[in-house]
Amino acid sequence: MKTRIYMLIGFLLSLILSILPVADNFTIAATPTDVVSPQAAVSFTQGVQKTVLDNGLTVLTKEVHTAPVVSVQVWYKVGSRNETKGENGISHQLEHLMFKGTKERPVQFGRLFNALGSQFNAFTSYDETAYFGTVERNRLDALLTLEADRMKNALIDAEQLTSEKRVVISELQGYENSPEYRLNRAVMRAAFPNRAYGLPVGGTKADVEQFTVEQVRNYYQKYYSPDNATVVIIGDFVTENALNTIRDTFGKLPKRETGGKLVSSTPLPQPDKLINTASKSPIILQESGSAALLQAVYPLPDVQHPDVPAIDVMDAILTGGRSSRLYQALVESGLASSVGASAVEPIEPGWYEISATAAPGQKLTKITEVLQTSLTQLQKQPVSLTELNRAKTQLQASFVLGNQDITSQASQLAYSQMIAGDYHYIEKYLAAIANVTQADVQRVAKTYLSPNKKTIGYFEPTQIAGESGTPNLGSGRTAENFNPGKPVDPAELAKYLPAITTSPDISKQSLPQQFSLTNGLRVLLLPDHNLPTINLSGQIDAGSEFDGNSNAGLASITASNLMNGTKTRDALTLAQTLEDRGAGLNFGATREGVSISGEGLAANLPLLIQTLADVLQNATFPNKQLELSRQRALTSLKVQLDDPSGLGRRVFQQAIYPENHPFHSFPTEESLKNITRDDVLRFYRNHYRPDTTTLALVGDFEPAEVKDLLSQSLGKWQAIGQPPLLKLPTVSLPPNITRINKAIPGKAEAITYLGYNAISRKDPRYYAALVLNQILGGDTLSSRLGTEVRDRLGLTYGIYSGFAAGVNPGPFLIQMQTAPQDANRAIASTLGLLKQLREQGITEAELNTAKRSITNSYPVDLANPSNVSSIILDNAILGLSPAEIREFPQRIQSVTMADVQKAIQDLINPKNLIIVTAGTVK
């Protein structure tokens, strides 16, 4: 179940490193009669002004003065739906080229956006291509100037196309690593053999390799026209001033002569004829992989069809949370490790996709049988009123919770205007959701989930692809030497940046109230009355660092079983209690702690805290649920070992840290099978304690009321003795370069990690290390690594570096994705850049640009209440002052050249690297 905009993001392709994050199934649900509807609490379109310029450009503006930031999005009504035979992927290829510069600004636009402090990205989907950035308010005019420039003047020539084709092919080959992607591609091609929606949005390697400059340039001229675009601006600005800038920039752009008139890929079928022509026998892929997979696709109508609200309610009933029908039938029964679905209703008729991952030893045919039984039951019997209400509130509440930040709000408006044809669509849609009846759900289930309309596919792994045993050591040398080019001079970039006014002052950022209960539980409260929502973050010092090698996976198993029952409520009751009130509560073990995340409408804060208190103090860990979670963990392990990123990171970390170090341990099949219920109970008693728990709440509440609520629900929670302590052994740098290769059959792309143990968050060099990293690899498009390895050489789709600095020292690492034949060259170029950095240092211009980029983007983080909750929690856990949230920019600005040069000498060691390459290795 996905909302309109989340559904959209689910199948888009993003530019930089990965697909944009998406919630799989919402864990917020129905509103009982005593709860105010979230639709009544928030208006999505109030204050929106629509302006259409003389050249046809549609502009939507909405002032939101809750934070000194503004989001700008430019959506073009062109996607893979508009591609003809032989040009599959050209929309996506053009999206990449839009960052290569313009005639007036012949520089990588990622560097310009980075210099503005913009949090930016882009994506291509079936019906649209979008570019978006969120910046401090004083950079709005600059952002609009840059977007208008590339709408008209994008540089599309042979050099840019050649390098970016390699990047796109690397991206596509990376998707080939995923069995889910390969299965989905086969099923969609069979379901829609004569429609563009049946082809992958990113295209095919064969088509991409054949693109010509003239072909891409003509495509750009045809579709990138003002009358085929929508610009959305939301945030802290004055509408009339912004419109004046729009008129001075976009308003001067002429319509293209061929401009933007879209033609459907095929004649649109009528709703009663949405039957594909594919064979109804299952499509079977027997390839190297990990878990068995199922995907089923049913044709649906387009976004404008009146059945869409009822279809989405049906989807929520089937897959909306733990209490949903398919979760209960497939996951709780032990047949599947996971199940999910999405209703995709774009401009042309869409589809409903159901996917499941088989539990170990379970047959896909059995899962198919139970799945069909559930769908048939939905068709034959009306759903209960309780289910109906729960599903409606899932959809309504998800729009409130999913639009707490202005970037999401801008995307929602753009989607409604561009795809549905009216920015008011979202509120019409929510009103229609409220009117869906039990009969409507039964009717759409009969209409669209007929077995003879289904295309189904199975992925049957022929072998377990990866293993976590002793790595094979390769040569300590790379295959070639490499001398990097001269770093890009930020001073040279400055002449292409539009004018910027003075930065806003964030010194007035509110600080959290901090207090402790008598039992030692720490609490941070930060009221925010702008939206009727609650964001809860928390951590318990019960992470996997306490596992040990023989019990690796114990912390994760314990955390995943917290919601499986307490002394008074079983798992289903816990799930329904939250889902019936539009709240979500989740636990997950990380290396240094168990993370707690919760969200909901403000009225549901008492329920959220009471449920949290119940599971922290009274979890019972039923045997049946424990075994089911073990099976899911075993499936996850197989998937991780089949993923070059997962296996590579595991081998990399185990090569850095010795066996007696807590950071060395990773779950194995043996360790997961050996964990007993007594082990879980013992871990729960010893490590789940109030004096090692920290909670942070940001949202619409009164602190005094929350303090009383916490005292009543968690004040009696007591710990015995002192909390467990860890003794970490000293970790030395590797004596030289060590190469480790881990082959995984059937993978098209390799993932490489380079690095070694580094620093903790409280290390005095941390802020200098952040600035250093911003220059080296903090951004794929603007850093030295990105400029050289990705942009100039075209060797990788994504490359970045980072310091994993926590309470304890974590690794410095560089990660990249390459074609197998390019891995050695990419590694050599990276080593050359590290050597250059160590020997030559950085320039004053680089230092100043990096500091501005970090500090300018920081207010964007603070504009999202969910981010703020995580930030104040992390600061508390790491032992930092509550004022760190306000003082962070000043600490970055105070970093000097001497600080960074010292960090380089201390922390950049190109002769002492662990280098791990996983996947197809040549």
Average of per-residue pLDDT across 718-738: 92
pLDDT band at 17; cut points 50, 70, 90: very low
**Distance between CA 764 and CA 762 in Å, rounded?**
6
pLDDT for 142 equals 95
Half-sphere exposure for 12 (CA within 13 Å, toward CB): 29
Cα–Cα nearest to 620, from 676, 689, 571, 669: 571
**Phi and psi of 410, rounded to 5°?**
-65, -40
- How far apart CA 295 and CA 305 sit, in angstroms, is 25
Q: Looking at residue 489, what is its pLDDT?
A: 77
Whole-number mean pLDDT of the chain? 89
Provide the 10 A C-beta neighbour count for residue 345.
23
197 close to 351: Cβ distance less than 8 angstroms: yes
313-326 CB burial, b ≥16 within 10 A, e <16: bbbbbbbbbbbbbb
Confidence of residue 155 (pLDDT cuts 50, 70, 90): very high
Q: Tell me: pLDDT of 36 over 70.
A: no
Alpha-carbon distance 738 to 476, whole Å?
Answer: 5
Per-residue pLDDT reduced to its tens digit, 415-469:
999 999 999 999 999 999 999 999 999 999 999 999 999 999 999 998 654 554 4
Q: Rounded distance, CA 194 to CA 204, Å?
A: 16
Give me the pLDDT at residue 495, please.
Answer: 86
Give bridge partners of residue 297 from the DSSP assignment. Answer: 353, 455
Give the strand order in the sheet containing 129-136. Answer: 13-14, 119-124, 129-136, 69-76, 229-235, 58-63, 49-52
410-to-73, 118, 234, 907 alpha-carbon distances in Å: 7, 15, 6, 40
Judge whether 825 and 482 are in contact, CB under 8 Å.
yes
pLDDT confidence of residue 505: 58
Using the structure block, give the residue that is written with the tokens 């329904």: 576
Residue 718 to residue 521: CA distance in whole angstroms: 10
Determine the straight-line distance between the first and last CA of the chain, rounded to whole angstroms.
41
pLDDT for residue 477 is more than 90: no
pLDDT of residue 776: 97
The full 3-state SS of 638-657, as one line of letters, equals HHHHCCHHHHHHHHHHHHHC
Q: Which two tokens stand for residue 267?
A: 């004649």
| Token output for 255 | 């319509």
Percent with pLDDT over 90 in the chain:
81
CA-wise closest residue to 835 among 476, 477, 482 = 482
Q: Which two tokens stand for residue 357?
A: 């991952």
**Measured distance CA(568)–CA(122) in Å, rounded:** 48
* Per-residue confidence (pLDDT) for residue 394, from 0 to 100: 86
CA–CA separation, 670 and 911 (whole Å)? 36
Secondary structure (3-state) at 253: coil
Positive or negative, the CA dihedral 251, 252, 256, 257 is: positive
Task: From residue 733, give the alpha-carbon distance in Å to each of 219, 908, 911.
Answer: 52, 11, 10
Q: What is the CA radius of gyration of the chain?
A: 27
**What pLDDT does 922 receive?**
66
Supply the DSSP symbol for 465.
-
pLDDT at 504: 53
Residue 905 one-letter amino acid: Q
pLDDT 10s digits, 679-692: 999 999 999 999 99
CA of 390: how far to CAs of 317, 397, 404, 576, 763, in Å? 8, 10, 22, 9, 48
| pLDDT band with cut points at 50, 70 and 90 for residue 714 | very high
Q: For residue 763, what are the contacts with CB-CB under 8 A and spacing of at least 6?
A: 769, 805, 809
The residue-averaged pLDDT of 469-484 equals 46
Angle (CA) 172-175-180 rounded to 5° is 145
Structure tokens at 16: 């930089």
How big is the chain, counted in residues? 922
120 and 63 Cβ atoms separated by less than 8 Å: no
User: pLDDT tens digit string along 747-798?
Assistant: 999 999 999 999 999 999 999 999 999 999 998 888 999 999 998 888 999 9
Query: What pLDDT is attached to residue 16?
Result: 34
Strand ranges, E, within 171-239: 229-235
Handedness of CA 227, 232, 237, 239 (dihedral sign): positive
* Nearest CA among 753, 478, 713 for reference residue 607: 713
Strands, E, within 300-402: which ranges? 336-344, 351-358
Mean pLDDT over 488-511 rounds to 75
- Distance separating alpha carbons of residues 383 and 42, to the nearest angstrom: 28
Burial of residue 665 (number of CB atoms within 10 Å: 0-12, 13-18, 19+): buried
pLDDT at 479 over 70: no
High-pLDDT (> 70) share of the chain, %: 90
Cα 108 from Cα 843, distance rounded (Å): 19
b/e per residue 87-98 (b: at least 16 CB within 10 A): bbbbbbbbbbbb
Distance CA 643, CA 628 (A): 23
d(CA 849, CA 134): 18
What confidence category does residue 352 fall into, taking pLDDT thresholds of 50, 70 and 90?
very high
Query: What predicted TM-score, i.e. pTM, was given to this entire model?
Result: 0.91
> For 254-285, how does the pLDDT look when each residue is reduced to its tens digit (9 = 90+)?
987 654 444 444 444 444 444 444 447 899 99
